[in-house]
């Protein structure tokens, strides 16, 4: 494909975000100065927007890090609570066994006492 098939300008130029072209030579325009402030303004706005968005991303990352730390802390507390519950369940089983033993022993003693009367 030739240079003209692509509909390129006959000379090299730069394209700015506002879609304006600035030729690299002064054949079509006597001065580039009228375009330069607008182009710099657009670049400045673009960079300002990028910085604003990066600041927002940084704030979001900081919040996510804080949330992650809180989740780790909660996870640790849940694990400790789970261990305590398991320990308490074992203690309850021991108490239940003791209660059954005491109840059976009481029943035996009462039965023997009735038989002695």
Tell me the per-residue pLDDT of 58-96, one tens digit each, with 9 for 90 and over: 999 999 999 999 999 999 999 999 999 999 999 999 999
Answer whether 13's CB lies under 8 Å from 21's CB: yes
Neighbouring C-beta atoms of residue 42, cutoff 10 Å: 14
User: Which structure tokens are listed for 89?
Assistant: 């369940």
Dist CA 37 CA 40 (whole Å) = 5
Total number of residues shown for the chain: 117
What band does 35 get if pLDDT is binned at 50, 70 and 90? low
- Among 8-17, 80-89, 101-110, the range scoring the smallest mean pLDDT is 8-17
Give this prediction's pTM: 0.47
In whole angstroms, what is the distance from residue 48 CA to residue 43 CA?
8
Question: What is the pLDDT at residue 31?
Answer: 52
**Would you state the pLDDT for residue 44?**
84
Q: How far is CA 24 from CA 28, 30, 31, 42, 57, in A?
A: 10, 11, 10, 19, 37
Domain coordinates in residue numbering, the chain: 9-85
- In this model, does residue 13 exceed pLDDT 70? no
Q: Higher model confidence: residue 55 or residue 32? A: 55
Write down the mean pLDDT value for the chain: 79
pLDDT at 4: 44
Decide: residue 99, CB within 10 A, 0-12 exposed, 13-18 middle, 19+ buried: exposed
Name 29's Cβ contacts closer than 8 Å, sequence gap at least 6: 23, 35
Q: What percentage of the chain has pLDDT greater than the value 70?
A: 69
């Amino acid at each position: 494909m030739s240079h003209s098939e692509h509909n390129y300008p006959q000379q090299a130029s730069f394209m700015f975000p506002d879609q304006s072209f600035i030729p690299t030579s002064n054949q079509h325009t006597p001065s580039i100065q009228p375009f330069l402030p607008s182009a710099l303004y657009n670049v400045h706005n673009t960079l300002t927007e990028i910085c604003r968005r990066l600041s927002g991303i940084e704030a979001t990352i900081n919040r996510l890090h804080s949330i992650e730390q809180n989740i780790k802390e909660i996870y640790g507390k849940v694990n400790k609570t789970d261990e305590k519950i398991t320990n308490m369940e074992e203690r309850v089983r021991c108490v239940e066994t003791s209660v059954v033993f005491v109840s059976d022993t009481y029943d035996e003693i009462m039965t023997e006492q009735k038989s002695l009367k």
